[in-house]
Amino acid sequence: MQEKGITYLFGTNLAQILSDKIIQKHPEFDKKRFTAFVKKGIEGKTLVQRVEVIADGLRECLPPDYPASIKILKNILGPENEKETGMFTHFYWLMPVSKFVEKYGLSHFNVSLDAIGEITKRNTGEYAIRPFVKQYPDRTLARMKKWAVSKNFHHRRLASEGLRPKLPWAAKLSLFIEEPEPVFEILDILKTDPVMFVKKSVANHLTDYIKVNPEAASALIRKWRRSDNEHTAWIVRHATRKTGMV
């Protein structure tokens, strides 16, 4: 699918899809007003900007009480994604919902983290979680440690992906670069994960640290190389395949 086609998905068509889902749970939702807001705001905008416009429209048209709005949005999420793919195809329509939490939920830690935990089972919470990592590092890390041992592989992936210092299409997360031990504790939990979706995230996360703190990354890699676990070995190979690191 070409970029133009992807961008087109985030317009009045998505406003109507979201409206129809919301109205089933919240009949008072003003579909006409929401669609008009989106139509006016998306003109000339990029995909990322369109996602934010739609999130702003949700804020404009849902109840002003954030927890009440989140309750409505959680009720439209539908079945969980049982696959490692489909985040940006079948569940693309949830991107503005994730942005809504990211942009408007920072003052409601528990409500927002619960919502991110549900969203990531279908789309992804890797971007929405980052403002919470920055503002509430200890509380967010504690939640992500719980996700790292979750039975749900989407939760486990988020525990890694959301903490990457160089996550693509996101602002750099500098908080743990000099002292990565809290993050490495979570990666250590995930280093034997058998699910490829999780393993790729951990490997990419390790690659990030090879770039931003090679000394700490090298020490972790040396430690992991002593393991005879096949999944840990795969992660190390994948993370170092372009670095020449031995």
Percent of the chain with pLDDT over 70: 96
CA–CA dist 177, 205 (Å, integer):
12
CA–CA dist 157, 150 (Å, integer):
10
Three-point CA angle 96, 97, 101, nearest 5°: 110
Banded pLDDT at 206 (limits 50, 70, 90): very high
Q: Is the pLDDT of residue 1 over 60?
A: no
- b/e burial code for range 169-183 (CB count within 10 A of at least 16 → b): eeeebebbbeebebb
CATH for 147-246 is 1.25.40.290
CA–CA dist 101, 80 (Å, integer):
18
Tokens of 138: 């200890």
What residue segments make up the domains of the chain, in order of their start? Answer: 147-246
Q: Is the pLDDT of residue 107 over 90?
A: yes
At 40-96, the pLDDT tens digits run 999 999 999 999 999 999 999 999 999 999 999 999 999 999 998 867 788 999 999
Note the pLDDT of residue 2: 38
Count Cβ atoms below 10 Å from residue 74 Cβ, excluding itself. 15
Q: Is the pLDDT of residue 136 over 70?
A: yes
Tokens 């995909």 locate to: 47
CA–CA dist 143, 159 (Å, integer):
9
Query: What is the 8-class DSSP label of residue 78?
Result: -
Report the chain's terminal Cα–Cα distance, integer Å. Answer: 39
Stretch 226-245: mean pLDDT: 91
Give the range among 17-31, 81-95, 215-229 with minimum mean pLDDT.
Answer: 81-95
Residues in the chain, how many? 246
Note the pLDDT of residue 143: 98
Q: Identify the burial level of 42 via C-beta atoms within 10 angstroms of its C-beta, where 0-12 means exposed, 13-18 middle and 19 or more buried.
A: buried
